[in-house]
């Protein structure tokens, strides 16, 4: 099986999800947004598409024209009932592909906090995130409306729309379940300017929270992906 991964910045990669995909027999290939021709990702193949996060807005087509192509790829795959997982920016791209609005939020949500899982979803692939301390990493300032026909999966105190599922094939997660403790050091470097310009956020505090909550997420995050992949079959 093949898994195509659209990556926007090198340090926001598959993280703990990579081992899950490898164990399940996926051959993973990264496609670099802004560099590679995303049209090469067909609406039917590969078997799985994952769209990762990044520090731009899903509505910034004028500055980043490749977004139009990226949104079209996701739209065509979902229309063909082919699996797509979107994380952070990837979730916003999925929302746009499904006709929902994506827009700047009321403030930056950066750091670790708990999610409130939706109680009215019969089967929620996010249930492993309730294990342990139950904290996930947030790193965004934009948000989205829930697309027509999608089910809200989770909320946070700051933003009510943290994830949705569309049919069985579309999973959009505004937060980051894939990060690892070691990998976060690259985030602190890559997002240095944003951290410095966000009130109440600093690297020592983020690092300490990562040490506290990161190990639990490294254990529970891959279970989210396992649950969703199991639902596809």
Residues forming the active site: 88, 176, 178
Neighbours of 177 (CB within 10 A): 24
Closest CA to 8 of 55, 49, 48, 50: 55
Distance CA 176, CA 33 (A): 19
* Distant-in-sequence, close-in-space partners of 70: CB < 8 Å, separation ≥ 6: 6, 33, 38, 51, 93
DSSP assignment, residue 59? T
Report the distance separating Cα 18 and Cα 68, nearest Å.
27
DSSP calls for 125-150: TTGGGGSTT-EEEEEEEEEEPPPTTE
Tokens in use for 145?
Answer: 């409306």
């Amino acid at each position: 099986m093949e898994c195509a991964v659209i990556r926007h910045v090198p340090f926001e990669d598959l993280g703990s999800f990579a081992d899950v995909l490898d164990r399940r027999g996926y051959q993973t290939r990264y496609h670099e947004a802004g560099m590679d021709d995303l049209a090469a990702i067909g609406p039917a193949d590969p078997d799985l598409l994952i769209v990762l996060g990044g520090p731009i807005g899903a509505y910034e087509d004028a500055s980043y024209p490749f977004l139009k192509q990226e949104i079209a790829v996701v739209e065509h795959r979902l229309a063909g009932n082919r699996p797509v997982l979107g994380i952070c920016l990837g979730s916003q791209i999925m929302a746009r592909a499904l006709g929902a609005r994506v827009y700047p939020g009321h403030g930056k949500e950066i750091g670790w906090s708990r999610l409130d899982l939706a109680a009215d979803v019969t089967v929620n692939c996010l249930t492993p995130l309730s294990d342990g301390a139950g904290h996930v990493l947030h790193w965004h300032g934009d948000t989205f409306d829930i697309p027509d026909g999608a089910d809200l999966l989770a909320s946070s105190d700051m933003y009510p729309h943290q994830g949705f599922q569309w049919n069985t094939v579309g999973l959009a997660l505004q937060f980051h379940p894939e990060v690892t403790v070691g990998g976060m050091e690259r985030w602190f470097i890559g997002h240095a300017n944003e951290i410095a310009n966000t009130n109440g956020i600093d690297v020592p505090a983020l690092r300490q929270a990562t040490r506290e909550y990161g190990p639990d997420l490294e254990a529970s995050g891959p279970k989210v992906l396992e649950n969703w992949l199991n639902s596809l079959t």
